[in-house]
Chains A and B, each alone.
Chain A
Amino acid sequence: MRLNKILKNTLLVLTACLVLSACATKKEVTDTKGQMQGDVYTGTDTVKYLADGVPDRVFFATNESILTTASRETLRSQASWLRKNPSINVVLEGHADERGTREYNLALGERRANAAKDYLMTYGISSDRITVLSYGKERPVDSGSNPLAWSKNRRSVTVKAN
């Protein structure tokens, strides 16, 4: 019940954000299927769930490690789930798309996963429970060579470690 409420609120906030940002930048390129905002993936194709209503991943803009509003929402739901499940530890797997040099992408993946880690910590999750692991561009979820595929691959995925 409660979860549902949170989810509803989340959706409301999300829609509000979408509307706002759409107003703010009308020219912003949106994918035909509405799966991207700017070049950040907003779809759910690849998303898995840690628990009901707790998405496992957040997405990033090209070369960026800044958390979007949607990402922060996702991470807050992860944090609240982790608080309820104190015995569970997680690995944050940071990834980059294929449009960058290998070594820089390893560092970028680490920076993205750390952005997620920092946010979880501000919501009360101890750093002892979080391991960061960067895969750079080594483990894409979508093997496509197009902007939508790249947007799905620029991600930090929260994986149960135990």
Chain B
Amino acid sequence: MIKKILFLYLILLPINAFALIEVDITRGNLNPLPVAVSPLSIDENSRLSFKKILDREDIGSEISLIVENNLRTSGLFNPLSKDAFLQAPDIANLKPRFEDWNLIKAQALITGKVSYINDKLRVEFRLWDVLAAKEMMALAFTTVPTNWRRVGHIISDKVYQRLTGEKGYFDTRIIYVAEEGPKTQRIKKLAIMDQDGFNNKFLTLGNELVLTPRFNPTSQIITYLSYFKNMPRVYLLDIETGTQEVVGDFPGMTFAPRFSPNGKKIIMSFAKDGKSDIYTMDLENRIVERITNHPSIDTSPSYSPDGKFITFNSDRSGYQQIYVMRNDGSDVKRISFGNGLYGTPVWSPRGDLIAFTKLHKGKFYIGVMRSDGSGERLLTENYYQEAPSWSPNGRVLIFYRETKTNAKGEGFSAKLWSIDLTGYNERLIKTPTDASDPSWSSLLSN
């Protein structure tokens, strides 16, 4: 289903010699860039064709809403109300009257056009610098009509990249655990959705407990922990074909799986006789390698993006702390030294930072530190939250948060949240049921 190829080609990309608008994403953005996202224009014949195929009234304005919503949730942009727009979408796409857009204080303008050509959806869009009265980018995509939401995400990624200088994260999906039922008997299912919460789909039925799904960074395969037949083991699931298989032939519990950056290995913990050690399994030749060998609990391993190092969680010092070692298990160094307990280290796709969960004085924090342990920064504090997962551009973290129950043990909930690396822009991510253990995919296109 994801394999539906998105044909993408460039029509023009004028590069101007002088600097145009830019968005600084390295600091908390307190003045998001005012941007006008004009509804994409659509001719009547195309509108009717798409209405028939997709059961959507006006796909042009719906795609623009996807773009608008993505830009808003990034916290870097402030999409202006369409009520204030003076120029009709079709004319704006040909040549904006910049004075009009300037009047409503838009600094950037997005226009476009949707058409139905040879059973395909064709979308062109343009990004304009209103103050400089210049076109910054123009692209056109052709794809199958059912891909229409993805087109909105790809446009968002292009705009984000053009204005911030870094790749976006909108054409992505989140895999997570959907939860229902009382806290003492939770039913858990694997679920997947687009990054913006749409196209939610359950991948398992809830017959057995499932935990900690994680994406392969290079394919549509996930790894997760399942209690199938009451034996907690690491599994692989191909989300296109639905095929599942157990990873390795271990006599006891395997857990805490992740893929290596090239997607060719699984790294995980194997628990035996009260100690947990870290192992890898090569998915091509099935060779299992032991990476740590210590009487402590060693778990939650995560590779650096170049695959040369592994960060993991160990209580070898007496309490849960974060360590870094070479990928062969040598040169183990503790990197967390602050007050409290540290867990769930995850290496940023940019390589510079490690995100973690910290427990200190009865509070849980999501934070980041450099891979040498310096520069610890706590982003958010709550009663209970853990398991950060990075957006593919390393700018946003998604995690889950559980509520404290009342004296009768009622009022439990688990939800997904995201927060900027800057510590700003904390957001609830809506899911049909309670949710935990989120994992962010790589960009689906480009």
Residue of B nearest to A93 (CB): B230
Q: How large is the interface on A (under 10, 10 to 19, 20 to 34, 35 or more residues)?
A: 20 to 34
Task: Decide if A107 touches B276 in the complex (CB within 8 Å).
Answer: yes
Question: Do A133 and B297 touch across chains, with their CB atoms under 8 A apart?
Answer: no
**1/0 contact trace for A128-156 toward B, CB 8 Å?**
00001110001111111110010000000
B172 interface residue per 8 A CB criterion:
no
Given A133-B230, A143-B405, A102 and B274 contact (CB-CB distance below 8 Å): no
Contacts of A103 in B (CB 8 A): 212, 255-256, 269, 299-300, 313, 343-344
Chain B interfacial residues counted at CB < 8 A? 47
Q: Does A101 contact B (CB under 8 A)?
A: yes
Interface members, chain B 121-175 (any A CB < 8 Å) = none
* Residues of A with C-beta under 8 A to B232: 106, 133-134
A102 contacts B437, C-beta separation under 8 Å:
yes
Chain A hits for B274, CB < 8 A: 65, 110-111, 114-115, 118
Task: For B276, list chain A residues within 8 Å (CB).
Answer: 107, 110-111
Flag if A138 contacts B412 (CB, 8 Å). Answer: no
Q: Is the CB of B412 within 8 A of A110?
A: no
A100 touches B (CB below 8 Å): yes
Indicate if A49 sits at the interface (CB-CB under 8 A). no
Q: Kindly state the separation between the CA atoms of A115 and B274 in the bound complex, as whole angstroms.
A: 7
Contacts of B252 in A (CB 8 A): 110, 132
A63–B253 CB distance below 8 A: no
B211:A138 contact, CB within 8 angstroms: yes
Complex Cα gap A99–B274 (Å): 20
Q: For window 259-283 of chain B, which residues contact chain A by CB distance below 8 Å?
A: 269, 271, 273-276
Least CB separation from A134: chain B residue: B253
Q: Do residues A138 and B186 form an inter-chain contact, with CB atoms below 8 A?
A: yes
**With A110-B253, A110-B274, A133-B230 in contact, is A101–B387 under 8 Å at CB?**
yes
Q: Which of A99, A100, A141 contacts B184 (CB 8 A)?
A: A141
B169 CB to nearest A CB, Å: 24
Contact partner of A143 (CB less than 8 A), chosen from B315, B344, B409, is B409
Q: B343 — nearest CB in chain A belongs to which residue?
A: A101
* Residues on the A chain within 8 Å of B420, using CB: none
Query: In the complex, how many angstroms separate the beta carbon of B259 from the nearest chain A beta carbon?
Result: 16
User: Are the CB atoms of A104 and B297 closer together than 8 Å?
Assistant: yes
Task: Let me know if B110 is at the binding interface, CB within 8 A.
Answer: no
B369 CB-CB contact with A under 8 Å: no
Question: Does B319 reach chain A (CB closer than 8 Å)?
Answer: yes
B210: shortest Cβ distance to chain A, in Å? 10
A104 and B209: CB pair below 8 A? no
Residues of B within 8 A of A99 (CB): 359, 362, 384
B387:A102 contact, CB within 8 angstroms? yes
Q: Which residues of A contact B341 (CB under 8 A)?
A: 100
Q: Which residues does chain A contribute within 8 Å of B271, judged by CB atoms?
A: 106-107, 110-111, 134
Write the nearest CB–CB distance from B224 to chain A, whole angstroms. Answer: 12
A108 within 8 A of B: yes
A104 to B182, CA, bound (A): 23
For residue A138, which residues in chain B have a CB less than 8 angstroms away from its CB?
A: 186, 209, 211
Cα–Cα distance between A65 and B408 once the two chains are bound (Å): 28
Any A CB within 8 A of the CB of B62: no
Query: Known interface pairs A115-B274, A134-B232, A134-B253. Does A101 touch B405 (Cβ–Cβ under 8 Å)?
Result: no
A144-B343 contact given A100-B359, A138-B186, CB 8 Å threshold = no
A140 near B183 with CB under 8 A, answer yes
Q: A104-B300, A106-B299, A145-B409 are in contact. List 13 more A-B contacts (CB 8 A).
A: A100-B341, A101-B313, A101-B343, A101-B357, A101-B386, A104-B299, A104-B320, A110-B252, A110-B253, A118-B274, A133-B230, A140-B184, A144-B409
21 examples of A-B residue contacts, CB within 8 angstroms? A99-B362, A100-B341, A101-B343, A101-B386, A102-B212, A102-B386, A102-B437, A103-B256, A103-B343, A104-B343, A106-B255, A107-B271, A107-B297, A110-B274, A111-B297, A132-B252, A133-B253, A142-B184, A144-B407, A144-B409, A149-B409
Question: What are the 10 tightest A-B residue pairs by CB atom distance, in nearest-first order?
Answer: A114-B274, A143-B409, A101-B343, A143-B183, A107-B276, A107-B297, A145-B404, A111-B274, A110-B271, A103-B256
